[in-house]
Structure 1
């Protein structure tokens, strides 16, 4: 009987440390994975991605080697922009000359369905896709078409986006920007020499956010004061 009690006592004494060690290792592996994911997120928001029809895509952290363009890799070429949209949590502001890539429009729809607040500024001359835009409007996306340059040589040539900047649910240093040479069209990703720059640098994000807010406010004022005919309209 004494021997049985001793065995039970021994098992109890060893089982608890084993459980604690197992728990410690489990927590360590979980923490390690969180660090890895955090680093991946940082890298994907701080990179320069280049495109060319001949050389393919290079610079996106998901693919360390240059990715050639072919039928099976085209969707991967869209990943930097789609990732930027898909990881938006609260708000997304986009100012781009041309937007007609269906994959990107679908991503914007899905973001709106996640209750991400989205605003778009587009150039009216190059976005004759009203049916697609109406779907975004129905999902709560606010869209402005800048028409003030229709009869001049100037155009709304911006190509940038900002997300989650200074949102109450985010930290003070939150916010990300995406900018580059490319319009959000299928040909831009597959036929042209283009680049994208993603950044979490506070000064960069703040500068783009300032520009967007000023542009948005200006278009509202133009509409309200009727300074220019058909400068802004919403679907």
Structure 2
């Protein structure tokens, strides 16, 4: 997905319905939501900040479906104006972590959905009899902070891939950061 000055089409008209513009910010937000809605087991979310209510609602619905959600964010952005991290943490028992070191900024912007290690860890906690549903590991990553400005006002990108090398590498990085981060 590409975000640029052409992404503001519907924002200028206060229209929250995606238009025909392939760069429409609402179309791109709906694409992100669609991937969250397809999660079966896990969402590992490393994001500097996010403010989009539709994405927050999709994460809440995923949690209600039984998807295991873990979030790593930056300490400074945890309670930022309009930020949705603290809302998720207070409304749902989602574990959110921040870097231990105050000199380290968590500036990643990626989401691993149904990574193999996460699915394995999650399925291992389900009491028998259980059935593993087919799932598709994927990653959303790129330069964009998941904010209205990021989706509709900046020159940004978000790559969505099922390439197993990329998914595995970012999932490993998430697990590494998770282990060296503090719960809030």
TM range (shorter): 0.7 to 0.9
Larger mean CA deviation between 76-85 and 91-100 belongs to 76-85
- Paired positions, count: 159
| Higher normalized helix content (fraction of residues) | 1
Unaligned runs of 5+ in 1: 1-48, 58-67, 220-231
Contact in 2 for aligned 1:112/1:140 (Cα 8 Å): no
User: How does 1:121-140 map onto structure 2 within 5 Å?
Assistant: 121-129=72-80, 132-137=84-89, 138-140=91-93
Deviations 1:168-217 (A, max 9, x none): 5256x941111010111111011100101001111110001000001101
Offset at residue 132 of structure 1 (A) = 4.6
1:141 aligned residue: 94
Q: Select the residue among 144, 149, 155 that pairs with 1:182.
A: 144
SS class of match (1:184):
coil
Name the CA shift for 1:170/1:215 in 2 (closer, same or farther; >3 Å). farther
The 1:192–1:134 alpha-carbon spacing in structure 2 relative to 1, beyond 3 Å, is closer
- Contact map agreement 1:124 1:147 (CA 8 A) in 2: no
**1:21-50 CA distance string (max 9 Å, x none):** xxxxxxxxxxxxxxxxxxxxxxxxxxxx11
Specify every segment of 5 or more residues in structure 2 that has no aligned partner in the other structure, as ranges: 19-24, 124-131
TM-score by length of 2: 0.76
**Structure 1-normalised TM-score?**
0.61
